[in-house]
Amino acid sequence: MTDGWFDLIATATRETLVMVLIAMAVTIPLGLLLGVLLLITGRGQILEQPVANKLIAAVVNVGRSVPFIILLVAVIPLTRALVGTTIGTTAAIVPLALATIPFFARIVETSLREVPGGLVEAAVASGARRRDVVSKVLIPEALPSLVAGVTITTIGVLGYSAMAGAVGGGGLGDVAIRYGYQRYETDITIATVVVLVALVQLLQFAGDRLARRLSHT
Amino acid sequence: MLLASMLEIQQLRKVFPNGVVALDGVDLEVPDGEIVGVIGRSGTGKSTLIRCVNRLEEPTSGRVLIDGQDVTAMRGGELRATRRKIGMIFQHFNLLTSRTAADNVALPLEIAGVDRKERRRKAHELLELVGLGDRVNAYPAQLSGGMKQRVGIARALASDPAILLSDEATSALDDETTHSVLDLIRTINAELNLTVLLITHEMDVVRRVCDTVALLDAGQIVERGRVDEVAWHDSRLGRGLRVEAWPPRDERQAA
């Protein structure tokens, strides 16, 4: 094994976590906004806007259809414009967030759709504005399901972040490619996989616990 | 004594986009302080009628006057302000699962911008009124159906409404619970002088709680009158009020 392999894995793990956390910090508010808009502009909803709804849905669908590995390369000019570089952890965050926002938006939409229409009606009958319906009914009622959605999405980003390593994005994927694959150091590959498995287990465990704690049904 | 009308429905029509005529020119008056029941079988437009009063459903034509104000002409903030004066209870209670009983009752006050301390005081007072003073911190999942509807009633009363709309509020409850919820509505009607419009498919509900009753059939009101008078009429309502079962047995055989 390469000397200092522990430091190598530790640094890579830190890079991966930074990528995932920042990508999620961008994804959660923007995906939530898009998901809420997707739902409330739909037919029979509180802000029915067929044209806007179709437009948002089309953008989200296009975003979700592009394979991540292609997106990674395709957005290089945008990445350079936004963060000034096209390699390294910071650069990887741009395609990561771009791929994840539409995915999370659909998850949010699905979660919010599960809130019974009667609860929205009860609020509207009490004189609620649209923003009251979103902030006091839709989001709080869907919260356990939204937390489960954040868990799924975060684990997805973790997987994507490893792929970002393939194009010089840093992190565990980068280490696995450069040391494990290109230098035939299989034990390094195994070490990265072990860390990734542990991270996924931890995320799922924490997400499940939080969702359960928030649920009062 | 001449009673003023808290609610007046004039020539209300509702045609759904698919062409179904749910309401076909309904006229109905709900005098101040009275409990008026609208009874009818499923699919006769009862629910559409009550939902047109606070515009959960948009009427196609006709007018709805609350305390003389035309609800059908209102927009935006004016409509929301009027909705606060119209309490509503629902068949499936529609309580927020994420909030305690007290916080559910406080929701209309929160929407109206009432401060936290006052919301809390009022929610506790109302839960006390509906007999749930000891369950203020319970979540809906921890309450029985009857208790949930009591929370629903407390919520409907939170912004001191002028009228209470009851949309099949006891249809999901067993007989005993139905009676206790109806008795509560009676008590609130008497103590707060609250006008009530309720719709139901159960004659027992009319018999137990209503002052006046109207029979809705195929989107039109076909019979109406004071419950104590109608009970003696040889009419569908009269026969219905005298027998236990609804619809009356002889009618079911005739049909």
pLDDT digits (tens, 9 = 90+) for B170-227: 999 999 999 999 999 999 999 999 999 999 999 999 999 999 999 999 999 999 999 9
pTM of the model: 0.91
Query: Containing domain of residue B46, as a range?
Result: 5-85+165-254
Q: How far is B167 from chain A (nearest CA, A)?
A: 12
Tell whether B32 and B122 lie within a shared domain.
Answer: no
pLDDT digits (tens, 9 = 90+) for A70-113: 998 899 999 999 988 888 888 899 999 999 999 999 999 999 99
Tell whether B175 and B104 lie within a shared domain.
Answer: no
Tell whether B226 and B104 lie within a shared domain.
Answer: no
Tell whether B30 and B79 lie within a shared domain.
Answer: yes
Mean pLDDT of the region B40-56: 94
Mutate to test the interface with B, among A46, A111, A115, A126 (most CBs of B within 10 A): A126
Confidence of residue B18 (pLDDT cuts 50, 70, 90): very high
- The answer, for B240 touching chain A at a CB cutoff of 8 Å, is no
Contact state of A136 with B111 under an 8 Å Cβ cutoff: yes
Contact state of B88 with A122 under an 8 Å Cβ cutoff: yes
- CATH number of the A19-169 domain: 1.10.3720.10
Tell whether B147 and B241 lie within a shared domain.
Answer: no
CATH of the domain at B229: 3.40.50.300
Contact state of B107 with A125 under an 8 Å Cβ cutoff: no
Range 168-227 of B in CB contact (< 8 A) with A: none
ipTM of the complex: 0.91
Tell whether B132 and B198 lie within a shared domain.
Answer: no
- The answer, for B155 touching chain A at a CB cutoff of 8 Å, is yes
Q: What value does the mean pLDDT of chain B take?
A: 92
Residues in A closer than 8 angstroms to B74, CB to CB, are: none
Residue in A with minimal Cα distance to B138: A216
Q: Where are the domains of chain A?
A: 19-169
Q: Which of B127, B160, B193 is the last residue of a domain?
A: B160
Q: Which of B112, B137, B160 is the last residue of a domain?
A: B160
- The answer, for B81 touching chain A at a CB cutoff of 8 Å, is yes
Please report the pLDDT score of residue B231 as a whole number: 83
Tell whether B172 and B249 lie within a shared domain.
Answer: yes
Contact state of B83 with A126 under an 8 Å Cβ cutoff: yes
In the sheet that holds B69-70, the strands lie side by side as B21-31, B5-15, B61-66, B69-70
pLDDT digits (tens, 9 = 90+) for A30-45: 999 999 999 999 999 9
Tell whether B225 and B99 lie within a shared domain.
Answer: no
Please report the pLDDT score of residue B8 as a whole number: 96
Tell whether B64 and B14 lie within a shared domain.
Answer: yes
Contact state of A125 with B83 under an 8 Å Cβ cutoff: yes
Q: Which of B119, B140, B160 is the last residue of a domain?
A: B160
Tell whether B204 and B235 lie within a shared domain.
Answer: yes
Tell whether B43 and B134 lie within a shared domain.
Answer: no
Tell whether B136 and B171 lie within a shared domain.
Answer: no
Number of domains forming the structure of chain B: 2
- The answer, for B108 touching chain A at a CB cutoff of 8 Å, is yes
